[in-house]
Amino acid sequence: MLYWCEGGKNDKEAVRFINSDPALIKTFIGLFRKVFQVDEKKFCILLHVHEYHDEEKQKNFWSSLTKIPKKQFFKVFYKQHTKKRIREGYPGCVAIYYYNIKIARELRMLSKVFSEQLGAW
């Protein structure tokens, strides 16, 4: 259900889960590791931050939370900032990628079945 709500459905070769809520990220990755046999080297993170963020601090935060080494992070994506407000304590947004076609297809199929059961399709 988390994947159905916050997962990327267009990537055919990987699972992608995007959010800025640390609790939601930790829950998703914990369940993912529990349900699927994973190869930890197949995890990658794309971190989205603003220029006012401390890149290294945010990488350390998300690496510690997800237990994904910083060497598996992509180049940081800097989001355009309107300069209207700075969100204190905002950790940025992460997209977690897991490269496995079989698991990606299974998650997309499960989310489709789940939504059909609810009558959304």
* pTM of model > 0.85: no
pLDDT band at residue 74 under the 50/70/90 scheme? very high
Query: Please, what CATH class does the domain formed by 2-114 belong to?
Result: alpha beta
pLDDT value for 4: 66
d(CA 37, CA 67): 16
Q: In the chain, where are the structural domains located?
A: 2-114
Distances (CA, A) of 22 to 27, 51, 103: 8, 20, 23
Main-chain dihedrals φ then ψ at residue 73, nearest 5 degrees: -90, 140
